[in-house]
Amino acid sequence: MSKNALLQALLDSYDRDGGINHLDGANLPSQDLANELARDFMHVLFPGFFESTALARKDAPAWLDDMLAKIEKRLVTEVEKCLRHAADPDPKHNARRIATEALTRLPEVRRIVQTDVAAAYAGDPAARSLDEIILAYPCVLAISLQRVAHVLYRLGVPLLPRMLTEYAHERTGIDIHPGAEIGPYFFIDHGTGVVIGETARLGAHVKVYQGVTLGAKSFETDATGTPIKGVKRHPDIDDHVTIYAHATILGGDTRIGAHTVVGANVWLLESTPPHSIAYYKDTNLVVRPRRKKESAVESRATAEEFKGDWMI
């Protein structure tokens, strides 16, 4: 095929094959700029950890002022693109309002992210320091960016929250939807292959291992068979639950009671009472009360410490 023939064939496909073209539409948010935003947010959440040179406390005010100005400029630009795509009636004004509100939530995000780092240190005997966790544990990137993206999600921003969490997904293999509500002291050990759906709700002190899926059991559909958006379809996980590797928990009406342990490779479609243990005996699923010797050592800190809106 000649160059001119190839050019015409592709142009013809643009006219013929809709759905994957975005011609004559609003300018879309940039993936490159979203990735830069993700990295900048991590710098602000963990000052001094990701700099090319050491950051002194005396230099922190000027450094932070520059970082926030850079983030705000990018955030306003990208949020405005997202709002234009969604046909917002006043995208410029609303983008600035949303960006300002999102930035005011960063101190609270840092407060909760600190609990996630503490949970990783308490929950992994291989961890030698908090510095090691922040620099080397994939859960820090995935959870921290999800908490930032969740703020934008709650403020009604389309597209960009998913782009931020996809940056972390690409880097870590951990896929957490920005809509998921996640309490403090959340730890994902190892991380690869973890999937947490949009309407999942997790309490405080939840610990999950690699390959865990908190997913949908089925989709409600309309008369044309199209899945209905926005319905509750992912499970609730109460406080102090541990979910071991490759367990799958499905369904919007499924609830795992507090202080429950879900064993590796378990497939759960039904709720469990508090203080339970779920595991396979041969090929049979067993769900029974935990014995005292099976109770994990748990932090005394609870969600009661976070009486505010810790879901951000």
- HEC string of 256-268 equals ECCCCEECCCCEE
Order of strands across the sheet that contains 242-243: 187-189, 207-209, 242-243, 261-262, 276-281, 284-289
Distance CA 254, CA 216 (A): 10
Those residues with Cβ within 8 angstroms of residue 37's Cβ, 6 or more apart along the chain or in another chain? 71, 74, 75, 78, 164
Q: Are 235 and 266 in contact (CB under 8 A)?
A: no
Distance CA 234, CA 230 (A): 11
CA 159 to chain centre: 14
Name 288's bridge partners: 277
User: What domains can you pick out in the chain, each with its CATH number?
Assistant: 27-172 (1.10.3130.10), 193-297 (2.160.10.10)
Mind listing the pLDDT tens digit of every residue in the chain (312 residues)? 899 999 999 999 999 988 899 999 899 999 999 999 999 999 999 999 999 999 999 999 999 999 999 999 999 999 999 999 999 999 999 999 999 999 999 999 999 999 999 999 999 999 999 999 999 999 999 999 999 999 999 999 999 999 999 999 999 999 999 999 999 999 999 999 999 999 999 999 999 999 999 999 977 777 787 888 889 999 999 999 999 999 999 999 999 999 999 999 999 999 999 999 999 999 999 999 998 766 654 444 444 555 544 445
Beta-strand relationship, 248-250 and 267-268: parallel
Q: Considering Cα of 258, then 263, then 264, then 266, what sign does the dihedral take?
A: negative
CB atoms < 10 A from the CB of 28, how many? 14
Q: Are 164 and 37 in contact (CB under 8 A)?
A: yes
pLDDT for position 247:
98
Q: Are 149 and 164 in contact (CB under 8 A)?
A: yes
- Smallest CA-to-CA distance from 152 within 142, 143, 166, 163 is with 163
Q: How long a stretch of residues is the chain?
A: 312
DSSP for the chain?
Answer: --HHHHHHHHHHHHHHSTTS---SSPPPPPHHHHHHHHHHHHHHHSTTTS-SS---GGGHHHHHHHHHHHHHHHHHHHHHHHHHHTT-SSHHHHHHHHHHHHHHTHHHHHHHHHHHHHHHHHH-TT---HHHHHHH-HHHHHHHHHHHHHHHHHTT--SHHHHHHHHHHHHHS-EE-TT-EE-SS-EEES-TT-EE-TT-EE-TT-EEETT-EEE-S---B-TTSPBPTT---S-EE-TT-EE-TT-EEE-TT-EEPTT-EE-TT-EE-S-B-TTEEEEEETTEEEEEEPPGGGPPP--S--GGG-TTTTT-
Distance CA 44, CA 194 (A): 26
- Tokens linked to 222: 């309309």
pTM of the model: 0.92
pLDDT for position 304:
52
pLDDT for position 305:
52
Those residues with Cβ within 8 angstroms of residue 51's Cβ, 6 or more apart along the chain or in another chain? 43
